[in-house]
Amino acid sequence: MKKATFLLGLVLAIALCNIAHAQESTTIPYSMVEVAPKFQGDDPGNFARWVFSQVKYPEQAIKEDLGGRVTLQFTVSKDGSVKDVKVLRSVHPVLDAEAVRVISSSPKWEPGMVNDKPVDVRYVFPVIFKTKSTDKSVSSFDLDVRPATFGPSDDIDRTLRSTSNEFTKWVFLNMKYPDEAIKKMIQGKAIATFDILETGDLTNIKIIESAHPLLDAELVRVLEMSPKWNAAMKNGLPVRTTYTFPFHFVLR
For the whole model, what pTM was predicted?
0.50
- The residue with greater pLDDT, 3 or 58, is 58
> Which DSSP helix (H) or strand (E) runs through 88?
strand 82-89
- CA angle, residues 235, 40, 89, in degrees to nearest 5: 65
Find out whether 13 and 31 touch, Cβ atoms under 8 Å: yes
CA 122 to each of CA 114, 136, 221, 244: distance values in angstroms, whole numbers, following the listed order: 14, 33, 26, 13
Q: How far apart are CA 64 and CA 66, in angstroms?
A: 5
Around Cβ 200, how many Cβ atoms within 10 Å?
17
Reported as a single tens digit per residue, the pLDDT across 231-252 is 777 777 888 888 888 888 877 5
Q: How far apart are CA 201 and CA 99, in angstroms?
A: 30
Q: Which of 27-41, 69-83, 180-194, 201-215 has the lowest mean pLDDT?
A: 27-41
Find out whether 242 and 148 touch, Cβ atoms under 8 Å: no
Predicted confidence (pLDDT) at residue 174 exceeds the cutoff of 90: no
Q: Which of 21-30, 56-65, 82-91 has the lowest mean pLDDT?
A: 21-30
Q: How far apart are CA 206 and CA 244, in angstroms?
A: 10
Around Cβ 70, how many Cβ atoms within 10 Å?
23
Reported as a single tens digit per residue, the pLDDT across 114-153 is 888 888 888 877 787 876 554 432 223 333 333 444 543 3
Predicted confidence (pLDDT) at residue 14 exceeds the cutoff of 70: no
Around Cβ 164, how many Cβ atoms within 10 Å?
22
pLDDT interval class at 9 (50, 70, 90): very low
- The residue with greater pLDDT, 221 or 122, is 221
Q: How far apart are CA 164 and CA 179, in angstroms?
A: 27
Going along the chain from its start, the domains and CATH numbers come out as: 4-131 (3.30.1150), 149-249 (3.30.1150.10)
Which residues on adjacent β-strands are paired with residue 231? none
